């Protein structure tokens, strides 16, 4: 490998958030500038009678820590208030939205029992620079949901600024992997898909 390529690779590793920096640095997630959406599709024989659902997360917090040089990988810790998940659907009536909200919290998430959803990173893989101060990588970590913790791999696009990080991406999870009973009605002829898509745009600042 040419010396220029070696220097370029080292520079990339040093610039990437969640890797070592000259001094330890902590960024706090700004919930007012960040966004989480959960997309739930319809399924079943009579799926035409149902709606796709869009769920928003209203309350969450977390921190990103970049360690000093030589101290190893950084970390992301995120905590979501399960009770803060809200129905954003516009097609259903207000009465139907209330029913969806009640089913989501009482039957699906059981948010009174499992009040927190957490994610803790463990490593970064497949690192690449996608342009300027923007990087792509896979964030590996433990997602705790509905009383079950599983290791997941989340593709992330990260833009680094002097006082701010911005991470965006999406991943798909199966509700049954977390012991969640997939909602259905009319004997299963109207139900939602097991797979849901989580989209995020997270801003963290020093």
Rounded to 5°, the CA angle 189-194-199 comes to 130
H or E, element range at 80: strand 75-81
What digits encode the pLDDT tens for the residues 143-185?
999 999 999 999 999 998 889 999 999 999 999 999 998 876 5
> 21 has which bridge partners?
68
What digits encode the pLDDT tens for the residues 35-56?
999 998 875 333 444 567 899 9
> 138 has which bridge partners?
125, 155
The CATH architecture of the domain made up of 3-205 is Beta Barrel (2.40)
Q: How far apart are CA 78 and CA 80, in angstroms?
A: 7
Spans of all domains in the chain: 3-205
Q: How far apart are CA 106 and CA 76, in angstroms?
A: 29
> What is the reported pTM?
0.82
């Amino acid at each position: 490998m040419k010396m220029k390529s070696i220097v370029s690779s080292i520079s990339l590793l040093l610039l990437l958030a969640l890797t070592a920096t000259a001094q330890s640095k902590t960024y706090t997630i700004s919930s007012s500038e960040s966004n989480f959406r959960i997309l739930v599709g319809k399924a079943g024989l009579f799926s035409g009678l149902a709606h796709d659902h869009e769920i928003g997360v209203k309350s969450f917090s977390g921190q990103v820590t970049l360690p000093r040089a030589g101290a190893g990988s950084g970390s992301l810790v995120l905590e979501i208030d399960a009770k803060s998940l809200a129905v954003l659907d516009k097609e259903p009536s207000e009465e139907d939205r209330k029913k969806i909200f009640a089913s989501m919290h009482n039957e699906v998430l059981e948010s009174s029992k499992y009040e927190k959803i957490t994610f803790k990173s463990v490593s970064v893989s497949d690192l690449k620079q996608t342009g300027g101060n923007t990087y792509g990588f896979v964030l590996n970590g433990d997602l705790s949901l509905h009383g079950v913790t599983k290791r997941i791999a989340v593709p992330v696009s990260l833009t680094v600024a002097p006082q701010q990080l911005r991470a965006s991406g999406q991943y798909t999870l199966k509700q049954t992997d977390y012991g969640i009973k997939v909602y259905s009605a009319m004997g299963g002829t109207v139900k939602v898909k097991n797979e849901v898509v989580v989209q995020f745009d997270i801003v963290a600042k020093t």
